[in-house]
Amino acid sequence: MPTAEVRLEFRRGTGQGVPRADMCALLLAGGAAPGPADVVGPDAPGHASQAVTHTWESGADGTVLDTLSVDLASLAGAVTAVLVVVRAEGG
């Protein structure tokens, strides 16, 4: 991939009746995340390598913005893919 860094943003609403949703990244080696440390998201905002980080901020309009930054050049050699997912619950 010719890009050294990728930044992804996911904006979501909040409030009663709105599902809780957030974005996370799984660092895959051979098609699987080797362990919990290879999942980056709100509960684990940075990979040990710092190649993938997650931040979030609340907007004045009641929305939340999740941001994932992926530094492709800094990924460990064992990482073959980064899978980005949005997970939701409730609502």
Q: How many domains does the chain have?
A: 1
CA dihedral 1, 23, 41, 64 (to 10 degrees): 120
Question: Do 73 and 15 touch, CB atoms closer than 8 A?
Answer: no
User: How confident is the model over 12-60, as pLDDT tens digits?
Assistant: 998 888 888 999 999 999 888 888 889 999 999 999 888 999 999 998 8
Q: Which of 1, 6, 4 is nearest to 69 (CA)?
A: 6
Residue span of the structural domain in which 61 resides: 5-86
The number of residues in the chain equals 91
Query: Is 91 domain-assigned?
Result: no
Is residue 91 over pLDDT 80?
no
pTM across the whole model: 0.84
Strand, helix or coil for residue 72: helix
Query: Is 35 domain-assigned?
Result: yes
Which strands form 64-71's sheet, in the order they lie side by side?
A: 5-12, 64-71, 52-58
